């Protein structure tokens, strides 16, 4: 096989691992890559894994750019060092640690707990896999200073990850994320990591915390009397081999739903995800078995959660009695509409409530909030920024709910991350509410479009793997930033928001305004015909994401199919005009 040119820095890193206190299996694998898999060696060592919008995430394997005992250990040691410096006045520093169903998740969680415990940090370690939102809940419940969940969310089976949380139950944000990275980078030798755990500093957490978490979810219910009337609502649910397999059915039962059918083949935790190509509820293929079951029993609602149960995808029946998948924007819009309507009916709105969405999420959520005179805020992509907004208003304003286009939603503030367990229960309740009015969830969505306008969004991900791919993604962003289009699909660009520069520029008059959000590598173009285009490199995956949004008025439910097709063509024309090659 042909040799690959290997950077000196890559060789230096690889040789450092060969010379260091690493296990022999690891060293043998490095030698094998040096001899026969030079490209894999480059990919494994050309950089260190870094925290992105979702924390540490990568392919499992040997190397500084891979998820393994040593990269997990270094991340944990860095976090431990930061916690000890930040909370030096506390008598006891504590953290919570959980994991999902992925391969090596239990092992990485154990390594994480042992490193923390060796650093005299007390660990609440879940004895078995748990949803990510429950980890967030546990941090607040146990009054921990931090927490970690081992998960790669909806990524393919070769991935794993490490999400780090702060004392409010939200994921790390600036300056804490940068400070932890700095602490990790100070570790120049693996011998600086304390791997020998202290069992007396580790407490196993069992089902007792499940009961506390589910009790809080049950309090979210706004229409218990309607659920009693429609308790036989036919629901099909699949956890896609993930952590939702126990708690989502339990949450539905707590709400009062008695007719939940599980997809048996996928109701078994398995890190190989044998029945799906990818355990991602955003993809139609992942819901195929659930839809087959739903058609057999004539279900009213289909729901699927990802491996760590923080995202949920749903399918509902259209007027032709066919199941259609709703996207994350649609689900978030329906939930927001239901929550605000019921809060108003229940006389719970007093001007102190608010919702939050991310900047790439549908503007429809803001329109709904305006109708009910509820404040709405836009934040950067990632639920850690929604959590930070809740923290900023703690004691002053009440958070109702918030969401993002990537199938995440959060209700209430007892959890500070997207929560598919609570969302599944609330989606089922919203369905019961619609049925009580003689509607389906789909017809409720059309009603929302009739009132606020038909919003249609689409996401295109351009994947570019490896070192060369990362460089290409960076070049794409630089080109759009330095040479922005003047026109997109025959409509003039009227506003450009550059979140890295922190500036919003009105193209028509040249005026610039400061964007009051943290700096982030995101660009947005707004055109004269109302098209919204957002682009951002993913912080956790080798891709750049393009978000497209268009809107037109719709005057009758019968116009839905025609308008949907028309807006789809409009978005595709925009994509073609930008010459995107996914």
255 to each of 184, 258, 427, 573, how far by Cα in Å? Answer: 44, 9, 11, 44
335 sits in which H/E element? helix 328-345
Q: In Å, how far from its chain's centre is CA 436?
A: 32
What residues does 551 pair with on adjacent strands?
455
Query: Any idea which residue has 């599980």 for tokens?
Result: 262
Sheet strands (E) in 395-514: 398-404, 408-411, 454-463, 487-488, 491-498, 503-506, 512-514
Specify whether the CB–CB gap between 409 and 401 falls below 8 A.
yes
DSSP 8-state secondary structure symbol assigned to residue 445: H
550 sits in which H/E element? strand 543-552
Considering only CA atoms, which of 408, 247, 401 is closest in space to residue 312? Answer: 408
Report the alpha-carbon distance of residue 27 to residue 558 in Å, rounded.
65
Secondary structure (DSSP) of 124-138: EEESS---HHHHHHH
Residues tagged active-site:
153
Q: What does R_g of the chain's alpha carbons equal in angstroms?
A: 24
553 to each of 288, 365, 567, how far by Cα in Å? Answer: 33, 16, 11
Specify whether the CB–CB gap between 407 and 331 falls below 8 A.
yes
């Amino acid at each position: 096989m042909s040799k690959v040119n290997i950077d000196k820095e890559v060789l230096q890193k690889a040789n450092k691992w060969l010379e260091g206190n690493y296990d022999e299996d690891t060293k043998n694998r490095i030698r094998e890559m040096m001899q026969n898999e030079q490209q894999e060696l480059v990919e494994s060592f050309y950089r260190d894994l870094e925290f992105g919008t979702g924390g540490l995430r990568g392919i499992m394997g040997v190397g500084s750019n891979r998820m393994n005992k040593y990269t997990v250990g270094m991340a944990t040691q860095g976090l431990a060092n930061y916690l000890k410096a930040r909370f030096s006045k506390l008598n006891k520093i504590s953290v919570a640690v959980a994991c999902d169903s992925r391969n090596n998740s239990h092992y990485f969680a154990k390594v994480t707990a042992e490193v923390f415990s060796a650093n005299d940090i007390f660990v609440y370690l879940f004895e078995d896999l748990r949803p990510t939102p429950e980890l967030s809940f546990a941090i607040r419940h146990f009054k921990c200073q931090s927490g970690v969940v081992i998960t790669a969310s909806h990524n393919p089976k070769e991935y794993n990850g490490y999400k780090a949380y702060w004392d409010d139950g939200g994921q790390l944000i600036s300056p804490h994320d940068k400070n932890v990275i700095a602490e990790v980078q100070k570790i120049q030798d693996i011998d600086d990591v304390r791997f020998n755990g202290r069992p007396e500093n580790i407490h196993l957490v069992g089902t007792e915390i499940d009961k506390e978490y589910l009790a809080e979810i049950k309090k979210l219910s706004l229409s218990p009397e309607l659920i009693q009337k429609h308790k036989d609502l036919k629901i099909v649910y699949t956890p896609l081999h993930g952590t939702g397999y126990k708690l989502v059915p339990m949450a539905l039962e707590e709400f009062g739903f008695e007719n939940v059918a599980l997809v048996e083949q996928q109701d078994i935790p398995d890190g190989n995800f044998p029945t799906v190509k990818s355990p991602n509820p955003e993809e139609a293929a992942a819901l195929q078995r659930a839809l087959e079951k739903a058609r057999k029993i004539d279900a009213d609602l289909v729901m699927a959660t990802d491996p760590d149960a923080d995202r949920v995808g749903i399918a509902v029946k259209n007027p032709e009695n066919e199941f259609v998948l709703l996207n994350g924007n649609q689900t978030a819009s329906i939930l927001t509409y239901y929550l605000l309507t019921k809060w108003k009916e229940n006389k719970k709105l007093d001007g102190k409530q608010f919702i939050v969405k991310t900047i790439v999420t549908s503007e429809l959520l803001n329109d709904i909030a305006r109708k009910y005179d509820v404040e709405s805020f836009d934040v950067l992509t990632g639920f850690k920024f929604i959590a930070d907004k809740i923290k900023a208003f703690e004691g002053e304003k009440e958070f109702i709910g918030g969401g993002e286009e990537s199938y995440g939603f959060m209700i209430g503030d007892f959890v500070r991350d997207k929560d598919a367990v609570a969302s599944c229960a609330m989606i089922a309740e919203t369905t019961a509410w619609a049925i009580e009015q003689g509607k389906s969830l789909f017809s409720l969505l059309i009603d929302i479009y009739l009132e606020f306008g038909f919003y249609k969004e689409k996401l295109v991900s351009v994947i570019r793997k490896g070192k060369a791919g990362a460089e290409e993604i960076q070049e794409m962003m630089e080109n759009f930033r330095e040479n922005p289009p003047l026109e997109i699909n025959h409509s003039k660009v009227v506003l450009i928001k550059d979140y890295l520069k922190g500036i919003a520029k009105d193209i028509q008059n040249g005026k610039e305004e400061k964007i009051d959000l943290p700096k982030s590598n995101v660009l947005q173009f707004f055109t004269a015909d109302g098209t919204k285009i957002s682009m951002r490199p993913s912080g956790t995956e080798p891709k750049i994401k393009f978000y497209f949004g268009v809107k037109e008025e719709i005057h009758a439910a019968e116009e839905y199919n025609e308008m949907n097709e028309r807006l789809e063509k409009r978005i595709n024309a925009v994509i073609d005009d930008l010459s995107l090659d996914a």
